[in-house]
Structure 1
Amino acid sequence: MNPEPKKKKTRGVKPWFYAISLLVVAVLSIIGTLFVSSSSFGNMEETSALETEGVLSVSDTPQDNDFAVIQEAFARLKESYYQEVDDETLIEGAIAGMAEAVEDPYTEYLDDVESVTLEEDITGSFEGIGAEVMKEGEYVKVVSPIPGSPAEEAGLLPNDLVMEVDGKAIEGMSLNEAVALIRGEKGTDVVLTIDRGGQTFEVAITRDAIPVETVVYQLDETHPEIGHIQITNFSLPTYDELVEAVTSLREQGAKAFVFDVRGNPGGLLNSAIELSNVFVEEGKPLFQIQERDNEPYVYHANDELYGDFKVTEPSILLINEGSASASEILAAAMNESADIPLLGMPTFGKGTMQNVEPIGDGGELKITVGKWLTPSGKWVNEEGIVPTIEQELPSYVNLLLINRSKTYQETDLSVEVENIESILEALGYAPGTVDGYFDEQTTKAVSQFQQEENLSVDGIVTGDTANLLVERLRELINQNDTQYDAAVEWLIDNHSMEQ
């Protein structure tokens, strides 16, 4: 029986807004891993060895003499460290150290505060800047900002490296320590120092509540027979929200769909299974999981287990380098088992799944327990999924923010000036050679922009001029989503959708 869709008004936000909205509001969340928990699989007949046998056997536990070394280190620190240290600090440090020792960016110890944060992420309600991150060497790498989140609006992009938080270097910190610095209450500010392709710049972000809605949808303005559905995350309500979106768009006349997981960092494995089942015929493979020392286990489409709502209309899926984890499971299932084309750029490449288990007094241990494979058995870890149709966005989507607190004027020479020249050129002005030198031609281009925008005309970029240049660039990006346009064109060229 199909889930009964709830009534909800469609939002007038363009889902492809993921590329680079350059406003300022944001907090970093650690979502996007594939969480395997008993709650996710409790109603499934298909289970793996992990669920039926447990994760840790008696033979895996350390011997008494191994524990003696740990106890000795604990006692010596308690007795000899020059300051008093409490038991909980040492115990949590030991657990965190063991998790870090396996050198897997997705295996980590979560204290009680971080456990609450994770629960908020899973249920889709939390405060932060809204970006999935992972450890990258000594720093933190942005996997993907959540579409519509403060992180996206601030202009963060996949593969950005966070070097400092409010002037404090995070080199050598654990992922949890770095995230703790970045997180904060709604309305408070944080300044991130970002390295993007060797260029370093600061992003001032106001933390905010992260949007709870995980599916955003609307009819195409030019071709109302096509519905556009963006899936921003895989959390508990995502399946019902997708059913509602498709049902509503069908009622409005949609005959085909552009689905969109660009910038979607992932989420719950169970949600990925339910959504994949929407597109795949009964009995066909959805994906595979492979645990340690076990053969791959194949999950098949099963309407009784995962819901019988189906999408059979002509469809295409948009992906990019910010599509990770559960997004990649969905993309592989749609492409390999339902022959639905993928359009965009190669995905992030996260091919592992994590189990979250309680440990100690309120803490949790997030452990990578296996890897997932596509229906055909391919492991996409660190490689990603290659689109059926490769389509880039305009190069100006990667231009940087302009620091409104600084002043850029004639005779200046810097990479920041080169960025300003590139923005002016993208907006149709003529700054001269884009070489980082603020010359007379650059001044004229800035003055022309200021005059047309009713700003004070002085040829200097700072304050309101900097803000408006960035705002106009954001609008240009939103108006020129070459990937979405190509998806619509593909549907029109390959399918008849007469009203």
Structure 2
Amino acid sequence: MSFKGRTVALMVGSAIVLSSLLTVAVLNVPALSGHVNATGTGFSSQQMQKLNSVLHTIESNYIEPVDREKLVSGALDGMFAVLKDPYSTYMRRSEATSFNESVEGEFTGIGAEVSLEDGAVTVVSPIKESPAEKAGLQPKDVLLTVDGESLDGKTLTEAVSKIRGPKGSTVKLEVKRPGHEQVMVFHIKRDKVDLETVYPSMLEGNIGYIELRQYSANTAERFEKALKELEAKQMKGLIIDVRNNPGGVLDTVKQMTEQFVPSGKPILQVEYRDKKRDVYKSKGAKDVKPYPIAVLTNKGSASASEIMAAALQESAGAILVGDHTFGKGTVQASHLVSKNDGDLIKLTIAKWLTPDGKWIHEKGIEPDVKVAQPSYFQAAPIPKDKTLKLNLTSPDVANVQHILKGLGYSVDRVDGYFSPDTKQAVEKFQRDHSLPVTGEVNKQTAEKLEQAVIKAIRDPKNDAQLDAAIKAVQKEIR
């Protein structure tokens, strides 16, 4: 389907990411079918007169010379600010270029997708193996400052421009995490983010496992190959992991989902402003797969990930395991503003609904088997500019206690009081890691604790959600 004389990209991704990546889904839709409203009239003469009058007044009377292009850019940003929609934005040439590069699967930045929620720059999801994930950024983190500059009042485009930078440079972020009183500080080195998107393996008991990190242009082909290889090895069950997957190309997720949803059954519905709906049905599998399927989700599973999870749950009988998803249920269209300047408009034009007609926007999808990760998976960075020691009480101490407990050290409490027992646990950790045994958490000990907890989080043996998914699949194997 295509606009006559125009190509439009429908996007189900969450927003600009810190690297200028956009998660997108590309579809072509019919023009002027009642789904897209376009008057084509432009500004009235009275409106143009008002705009020109304001422009003339500023240029003629403002205390300093003003760049007209900046005024125009400000006016454009203002139009989108009025919409109060975190997923509608105006992209300049550089952002549009990064947008196109991201669809191909690679970019340079810190690798975390963000949106503007109630005026706050909020993390949707850190990309797997990215600098952001390695530093410990998590979904729903609110970014407060960048290199000491407040993001309060900034547009999403302005925030992104502050955060991105050349490979190898470091950005300092102050972050407010829900459930934590203190502001966290992250120092993240920008790097090339590799978006290899499909990671398959065979788990014990011939249970296939495919981790999907994003739905890029080449993901469907790689996914199909990985699935066939696992099936050729007599796979008895399958786990698809879309945790912290921020979304991607809709045609890609449709093509992948069709391998599991029987032909004729719905994958999703798209509802436009006139309430008309398009129902996208599977053209793939004749029957459901002969093995059970579980889909791993968490609050970083957004957009296209939610489309796949909902379609497999409602139309293919898959079991969802983990935590509720992000809740991004709108569809965007990208429009090239002018061939000459390369700017793009990304505008919300529709809702997407699950096969059963549910709108999951700002609610997410609840898993069939709800499983939380151990508390130390939510560990915050430990401050390096102060020493934590005996009899101190603070949230930072509670954070260290959760980390120590998660690493297998005995602590008598996790309430933030640095008890003698906590001191003994710190001393044992220091001995185990060849550190000076002081019983205090200084910069050196803090760094070792962070390295140890990151290693523990990445160890599949500690993944409670994966373990639950394996058990759910094993239960269904005939």
Same fold (TM over 0.5): yes
1:247 deviates by 2.1
RMSD: 2.2
State the TM-score, normalizing by the size of structure 2: 0.90
- For residues 393 and 297 of structure 2, what CA distance do their matches in structure 1 show? 37
Opposite residue 187 of structure 2, the aligned amino acid is: A
Aligned to 1:278, what secondary structure does the other structure show? coil
> Which of these residues, 144, 149, 158, is aligned with residue 163 of structure 1?
144
Output the TM-score relative to the length of structure 1. Answer: 0.86
Q: Which has the higher contact order (CA 8 A, sep 6+)?
A: 1
For the pair 1:340 / 2:318, whether they are aligned, the reply is: yes
Q: Verify: 1:244 aligned to 2:222, yes or no.
A: no
SS at match of 1:140: strand
- For the residues of structure 2 that align with 1:448 and 1:420, how far apart are their CA atoms? 14
CA contact (8 A) 1:261 1:323 kept: yes
Distance 2:381 2:277 in 1: 45
Aligned twin of 2:292: 314
Tell me how far 1:211 sits from its aligned partner.
Answer: 1.3
Quote how far apart the aligned CAs of 1:310 are. Answer: 8.7
2:373–2:464 contact (8 Å) kept in structure 1:
yes
Residue 345 of structure 2 is matched in structure 1 by 365
Where 1:334 maps in the other structure, the secondary structure is helix
Shift in alpha-carbon separation, 1:50–1:403, aligned structure 2, 3 A: farther
Structure 2 partner of 1:410: 390
Say whether the 8 Å CA contact 1:447–1:457 is kept in structure 2.
yes
The aligned runs of 1:131-210 (5 Å cut-off) are: 131-197=112-178, 198-210=181-193
- Of 355-364 and 225-234, more deviation after overlay is shown by 355-364
- Worse-superposed segment, 457-466 or 343-352: 457-466
Equivalences, count: 456
Q: Which residue of 1 aligns with 2:39?
A: 57
Which residue of the partner structure matches residue 197 of structure 2? Answer: 214
Number of the residue aligned with 2:78? 97
Measured at CA, do residues 149 and 265 of structure 1 come closer, stay the same or move farther in structure 2, by a change above 3 Å?
same
Amino acid of the residue matched to residue 309 of structure 2?
A
Superposed counterparts of 1:98-497, under 5 Å: 98-197=79-178, 198-220=181-203, 222-223=204-205, 225-303=206-284, 312-360=290-338, 361-477=341-457, 478=459, 479-496=461-478
Match of 1:3 in 2: none
Shift of 1:294: 3.8
Residue deviations 1:310-365 (CA, integer Å, cap 9, x gap): 95532111111111111111111111111111111111111101111111422111
Q: What's the CA shift string for 1:472-494, capped at 9, x where partnerless?
A: 22233333111111111111111
Contact 1:50 1:291 in 2 (8 A): no
- What secondary structure does 1:293 align onto? coil
> What SS does structure 1 have at the residue aligned with 2:404?
helix
CA distance in 2, matches of 1:422, 1:457: 20
Q: Percent same amino acid at aligned positions?
A: 38
What amino acid does structure 2 have at the position aligned with 1:269?
Answer: L
For structure 2, the 5+ residue unaligned runs are: 1-16
Give the letter aligned to residue 449 of structure 2. L
Contact kept in structure 2, 1:218 and 1:228, CA below 8 Å: yes
Structure 1 unaligned regions, length at least 5:
1-26, 42-46
1:211-260 per-residue CA deviation (whole Å, 9 max, x = no partner) reads: 1211111111x33x111101111111110111121122233442321001
Q: Cα 1:52–1:241, aligned 2, differ >3 Å: closer, same or farther?
A: farther
Q: Which amino acid aligns with 2:90?
A: Y
For the 8 Å contact 1:32–1:265, the answer to whether it is kept is: no
CA distance in 2, matches of 1:310, 1:124: 30
**More deviation in 107-116 or 131-140?**
131-140
CA distance, structure 2, for counterparts of residue 182 and residue 151 of structure 1: 12
Amino acid at match of 1:147: K
Superposed, 1:41-52 pairs within 5 Å as 41=28, 47-48=29-30
For the residue of structure 1 that corresponds to 2:431, the secondary structure is helix
